[in-house]
Amino acid sequence: MKLILTEEVNGLGTPGDVVEVKDGYGRNFLMPRGLAIRWTRGGEKQITQIRRARSAREIRDLGHALDVKSQLGSTNVVLATKAGDTGRLFGSVTTSDVADAIKASGGPDLDKRSIAISGVIKNVGKHNVTIKLHPEVSTELTISVVAN
C-alpha cells in the first residue's frame, strides 16, 4: 500500500514522504491515527503543500528549539511519586510523567514523544533523560525522582 505521511513516524519517514507499507499496517495503524493518507495521483499537490509547510515550520522551529533548550537548561525538575521504604518506586516513571513534571516546574509544555528515557526509572534519585526538540537540537536533562 502506498501512503503519504502527514506526520513523522519513527523508522518510516517524515511528513510529505511517500512510503510503501503493508496493507494492515497502513489501514489499521497509520490511517486511523491520522499519520498518513492514501497516495493518489492528485495527492502530489498535497505532498508539495506538506513539504512547503514543513520547511517553513522547521526554519521557525529551529530558533524556537534553541530557546526551549536554553529554558530547559535553567529548569530544576523534581518528580514526586509513590515509593517504598527502600526507595523503590511503585511502578516506573514514564515519558508522560517527565513531561508533566517539566511543565509543573515552570518549563515548557513538551510532547511526551520527544522525551527518551535511557533504561527504566524504578528508583528514587537523579536520572538523565534526553529530549529531542528538533532534528538538529537535542538536550539532556537531569530529573530528581523523590518519594511522595
Model confidence over 35-79: pLDDT tens digits? 999 998 888 788 888 777 776 655 567 888 888 888 888 889 999
What local confidence, expressed as pLDDT, does residue 26 receive? 95
What local confidence, expressed as pLDDT, does residue 29 receive? 96
- Interatomic CA distance for residues 143 and 99, integer angstroms: 11
Predicted structure pTM score:
0.64
User: What architecture is domain 2-66?
Assistant: 3-Layer(aba) Sandwich (3.40)
Write the CB contacts of 113 (distance below 8 Å, at least 6 apart in sequence). 95
Burial 69-94 (b: 16+ CB within 10 A, else e): beebeeeebebebebeeeeebeeebe
CATH code at 69-147: 3.10.430.100
Pairing of strands 18-20, 2-5: antiparallel
Does 107 score more than 90 pLDDT? no
* Domain boundaries along the sequence of the chain: 2-66, 69-147
End-to-end CA separation in angstroms for the chain: 49
**% of the chain surpassing 90 pLDDT:** 53
Task: Report phi then psi at 5, rounded to 5.
Answer: -75, 135
Does 101 score more than 80 pLDDT? yes
Average pLDDT over residues 75-89: 93
State the pLDDT confidence band at 136, using cuts at 50, 70 and 90.
confident
- Interatomic CA distance for residues 94 and 100, integer angstroms: 10
Mean pLDDT of the chain: 88
What local confidence, expressed as pLDDT, does residue 56 receive? 61
